[in-house]
Chains A and B, each alone.
Chain A
């Protein structure tokens, strides 16, 4: 069972990608991208987990206590910010897509081909 958390992360990534590729609504597609991204949080935090350890904050525990890896938590924080900003930017583009194309269905966007 020791690989289950890693497999879960991979599963989330694949589910997100599947949703993204088959989406019929751009807002839904943005959501799917966020799902795919959340797999990276799961993977990072799973990699940094240490059995029986606590949060790496020493304001209420004595130094020397076993803690989980703080580096992956910092990375996950960065990752969250990246995800939020990309989502905001893509949603702004979706708003404009709705106005200029009159649709949010990727099947009906046909301005660029060939």
Chain B
């Protein structure tokens, strides 16, 4: 289609969608209203399960199956990225050159790294108590490691990041969630049932299986993000066309 024709089709579609959606909005319950039946049930259930962070209770207890699917989406996407960004036969791997980093940046990165790592682990561990959990904390942990790349260089990052190990952890995290779910079955209840003792409200050991599932997700997310970034970094830094390498070598000879 020509650009003009596409714009006409698009305009018609956008107008139709806009009209439909606006009409729907006018029939919506008023913003900020008090009627939230599911929300009220979820809050009551969370408190009964002694999980202070209601959102975690919804994610890892009441709607834990959603989270299994969600974790699997991340798992599949990382696996897909590994497959899509693999080195093809016509490409070669070269060692990336070390680059100079401003000292201030280096100092900052090295100071912040352990702190960020700790915060990430804290966020994972306190998912049942305070805002956060496996997904949020896992991302913080993974990005913390990459401060090494920003502050030092790629080789330093590689030293703390054996990708094979993280792939193993990725699989273990995903598998642990599935197996923890099956533990509910073995305990005589349903799949993904919260069968552990619920503990004391507002303490680290509360919420039954919620902290365990959070830990599994945290492990999976942290390793998945590490593997994901490793693939993109490898594409940016290491993997080059055979032709480019040959050209470079020729130049060097000259």
A residues near B (Cβ < 8 Å) are: 1-7, 10, 13-14, 17-18, 21-22, 46-52, 55-59, 63, 67-74, 77-78, 81-82, 84-86, 88-89, 91-93, 95-96, 99
Contacts and interface: CB of A to CB of B under 8 A. Distances in A.
A94 B73 CA distance: 20
B54 A57 contact: yes
A73 B39 CA distance: 10
Nearest to A99: B241
Contacts of A71: 36, 38-39, 42, 58, 63
B28 A58 contact: no
B14 interface: yes
B96 interface: no
B22 A7 contact: yes
B70 interface: yes
Contact of B52 (A46, A57, A68): A57
Interface string B235-246: 100000100000
Contacts of A82: 70, 73
A18 B10 contact: yes
What DSSP secondary structure best describes chain B's contact surface?
Answer: helix
Contacts of B135: 77, 81
Contacts of A49: 31-32
Contacts of B10: 17-18, 21-22
Nearest to B60: A74
B55 A46 contact: no
Contacts of A77: 55, 59, 135
Among A7, A68, A89, A99, residue most surrounded by chain B Cβ atoms (within 10 Å): A89
A48 B131 contact: no
Contacts of B18: 10, 14
27 contacts: A2-B30, A3-B26, A3-B28, A5-B31, A6-B31, A7-B22, A13-B21, A22-B10, A48-B36, A50-B32, A50-B39, A51-B33, A56-B43, A57-B53, A57-B129, A58-B54, A67-B43, A69-B42, A70-B58, A71-B39, A71-B42, A81-B74, A85-B73, A85-B74, A89-B81, A92-B231, A92-B232
